[in-house]
Structure 1
Amino acid sequence: MLSWEEISLRLILAAIFGAVIGVERERKDWAAGMRTHMMVCMGSALIMLVSSFGFSDTAGNEYIELDPSRVAAQIVSGIGFIGAGAILFLKPTTILGLTTASGLWTVAGIGMATGGGMYFAASVTTVLSIIILWGLQPLQKKFSSKFQNKTVTIVTKKGLSPRFVIDRITDGSNLDYNSISVTKQSKENIIEVKLEKPATTGFKDIIADIQENEDVKKITWNK
């Protein structure tokens, strides 16, 4: 049986490891932030302790057969419920939260490793997780088209016809458009243009010219 000092050390380390990864998610204002990651990691460590040492009083009984891995194995499948709650389906083609969900699953593994006394494995996984979540993001944004400008939203005053903006956008542009939508409100028009491929320099120049119009209130780019 472990001493109370060792039990405390494992639970505290699990909370710290979870907090380190949670802070990275917290700074992006995701629903699953620091406290969620801390609880998942520490809870996984506790379950691992229970699985490994919680049945020591019945060990050795010839009528009882214990498998320490059975309780811990349920963490792997059970954490999927929390991960699913972190995934947001905004539109049929827009899904957010997959990275957070996979992070929670990894944090559960870190907690299991810490609860099992595998401090080095838990520490290395924590460091690698931070590198993946935070350190590699600038590199991904640079080379992945997913993070490049593909959607532009133009907000104009009510007096400016949406046709003027649409004709200006499509005139002389060789880009493929996924969709062009117009939403008319009481005081303004919202024109959303979605591109099949990232915007070219020529298309951005057209948008810059449109922005010079005094009836254009705001133009925003999204990935």
Structure 2
Amino acid sequence: MTEPLRIDIVSDVMCPWCIIGYRQLSKALDATGTHHEIHWHPFELNPQMPPEGQNTREHIIEKYGSTPEQSEQSRQQMKALGSDLGFAFEWTEDSRMHNTFNTHQLLHWANTQGRMHDLKMALFTAHFTDQRNLSDDAVLVDIAAEIGLDRVEAAAVLDDQRFANDVRSAEQFWQKQGISGVPAMVFDRKHLVTGAQGVENYTSILSQLAEMKG
């Protein structure tokens, strides 16, 4: 059995391109039959975001200077891409961006249970498809419990912030590697690919990596 290809993915569940990129990569992994292991890492798109969050459209216009028309066009583009990949973006006028520091702490804890990937997927769906409030710890605990994680333990992790320093350290590590935007994927610990590249490009990258190893 060959050693699995290590793929480190730095991302935030507030980032639509992170789930699009992951779904594209996943299709490419299936198509190439690549033996792999995925490791998720934290990145906060909006570390200064207040606890109550901010309206998504207002936030995008404020942060990137987009016009409402550009913002809508971008949503439709992502919606179409998501649909092709089996993921539903269901934005509304009331969609909100949230502070994800607690989300990352919960993911860190889920990793100790071997369930980080499952929780990550559940959080993407909760945020983009179901419009749930990830600023609310009770909602985060509900999502963890829905995938079979221990509700009491999940609540305790958020309450005592036991993984706060670990998450901060991990975020700082990736920032020091020059990661300033997500998704950022590192293949085999040395090949960095940023942004959602599309199924064909990921397939090509995986094939090249297999040749290099071969």
TM-score (ref. length: structure 1) = 0.22
Q: Which has the higher contact order (CA 8 A, sep 6+)?
A: 2
What is the TM-score normalised by the length of structure 2?
0.22
Pick the structure with greater CA Rg.
Answer: 1
